[in-house]
Amino acid sequence: MATINYIVKVEDAKMTQIKKALESANIKVISIIDIYKSGEEQSKKEGPANVDE
């Protein structure tokens, strides 16, 4: 099966929320990577998340 890479821009969402939303639509998530964060609130940056855990 082919792997496809997408870029998704979201507001006010955490990686775990994105993962749960995609998996509830029967989309297998291999990994989510925080590439860029903008805005006034610069909270601690979440690193690459391996979602196979």
pLDDT in tens, 5-46: 999 999 889 999 999 999 999 999 999 998 888 876 655 555
Q: Is 6 a member of any domain?
A: no
Q: Is 4 a member of any domain?
A: no
Q: Is 41 a member of any domain?
A: no
Q: Is 18 a member of any domain?
A: yes
Q: Is 25 a member of any domain?
A: yes
Q: Is 52 a member of any domain?
A: yes
Domain count, the chain: 1
Q: Which pLDDT score, from 0 to 100, does residue 23 have?
A: 96
Q: Tell me the whole-structure pTM to 2 decimals.
A: 0.62
Give the separation between CA 4 and CA 27, rounded to whole angstroms: 11
Q: Is 28 a member of any domain?
A: yes
Query: Residue 25's domain spans which residues?
Result: 11-34+46-53
